[in-house]
Amino acid sequence: MNKSEKTRELLTKHFETHPELQIRDIFKYIFQSSFGCEHLVSSFEKVTECIIAEYETIDKSSAPYIEALDGNYSRVYLSYMNTGLSAQTLGKLFFLSARKEPEGKTSLNEKIEVTKELVKENILPFTAEDFEKELNKWQAENFPAVHHSEEFRKVYKPAYRVIANEYIPFLPLFANIDKMLSKGSVKLAVEGGSASGKTTLGKILESIYDCTVLHMDDFFLQPHQRTPERYKEIGGNVDRERFLSEVLHPLSRNEDISYRRFDCSSMSIKKAEIIAPKQLTVIEGAYSMHPEFSKYYDLSVFLDITAETQKKRILHRNTPEMATRFFNEWIPYENNYFSKTNVKEKCGLCIEIK
């Protein structure tokens, strides 16, 4: 499906689900699809205050709802907060999603042309004359952000924030974290195969929660541990002993961590870095939910990537030589570990990575 076909499909669906929409509501949809948030957000605190106030006005029995826009953004309705997502997290996501879109004007013009076609084909409920008249006014003002029509507001009572799509798959995880943080500290394991986005998710969580993020890649086997017997163990190619003693045991006692990273270039362990636990501590990496570790976590998530997507990502990110090592060594180890320990099923959440 090319871009124009996708635009046609989404605009048609938007009309089908909102048959009372007006021309300006179509303008708002294609504007948000092209530019995301209508303006750059200046204050996280103000954003959060507005979300809290607006949430008080919505029907709390409304089902959580996400509406895909035609681009890199989606509308996340405040009803999603019914799942436990906090106003602070939604506000931070909105704040992080506010960015300049250098190709926004080009994208908008492309969507306008598709919208014209839908009007001419009578798929959208406006006359060509009325649409052109409103479009000319909008263009004369240099396509500013627009508000929903009064008709749309009255019928549909829109209450949402425009959020970048990179955050959308993880909303269930954010909601679970928020519910648990409201009761105390949280230790989270992020599991999954190579190239599934574990490190990227760790960075996202750090940007939202200012949490501590630790990496299983810092616990590669030391040279003396690299024996045939060790590699035959399930999850044997990670330094479980050191990870337990230096990370999980201190965390379980809420003590500072003396964190030593394994340096692959020198095949040695670096000098310790003292890390104080925060309210949220994230351990990301394959083997983080090894049976010896799982009891130390409050929450776990498995990032489930297809073999096809995994292969594409690895080939894109690595040299051919390094990619070969992934395919012939590391991925078979991971897959054996996953199948023998049923890690995916044991994680509290599973998120499909597309």
As given in the structure block, the two tokens for residue 20 are 């009372």
For the entire predicted model, the pTM comes to 0.94
Per-residue model confidence as pLDDT tens for the chain (354 residues): 799 999 999 999 999 999 999 999 999 999 999 999 866 566 888 889 999 999 999 988 888 899 999 999 999 999 999 999 999 999 999 999 988 888 999 999 999 999 999 999 999 999 999 999 999 999 999 999 999 999 999 999 999 999 999 999 999 999 999 999 999 999 999 999 999 999 999 999 999 999 999 999 999 999 999 999 999 999 999 999 999 999 999 999 999 999 999 999 999 999 999 999 999 999 999 999 999 999 999 999 999 999 999 999 999 999 999 999 999 999 999 999 999 999 999 999 999 998
Residue 284: what are its φ and ψ, rounded to 5°? -115, 140
| Cα 196 to Cα 162, 191, 301, 354, distances in angstroms | 25, 9, 12, 9
User: How many contiguous H segments (helices) and E segments (strands) does the chain have?
Assistant: 16, 12
Residue the block writes with tokens 């541990």: 225
Residue 61 has a pLDDT of 86
Residue 39 has a pLDDT of 61
d(CA 343, CA 234): 12
Helical axes 87-97 vs 44-55, angle rounded to 10°: 130
**Partners of residue 188 on adjacent β-strands:** 282, 299
d(CA 290, CA 268): 24
d(CA 299, CA 84): 15
**Partners of residue 269 on adjacent β-strands:** 262
Residue 100 has a pLDDT of 80
Domains contained in the chain, CATH given: 3-168 (no CATH), 184-353 (3.40.50.300)
d(CA 23, CA 176): 38
As given in the structure block, the two tokens for residue 27 are 């303008």
Residue 299 has a pLDDT of 98
Residue 54 has a pLDDT of 95
Residue 53 has a pLDDT of 95
Residue 130 has a pLDDT of 97
d(CA 297, CA 76): 29
Specify the 3-state DSSP secondary structure of 345: helix
Strand ranges, E, within the chain = 66-68, 73-77, 160-164, 186-192, 212-215, 257-259, 262-263, 268-269, 273-275, 280-284, 299-305, 349-353
Residue 40 has a pLDDT of 59
Amino acid at 174: F
- The CB-side HSE value for 44 (13 A sphere, CA atoms) comes to 12
**Partners of residue 301 on adjacent β-strands:** 190, 349
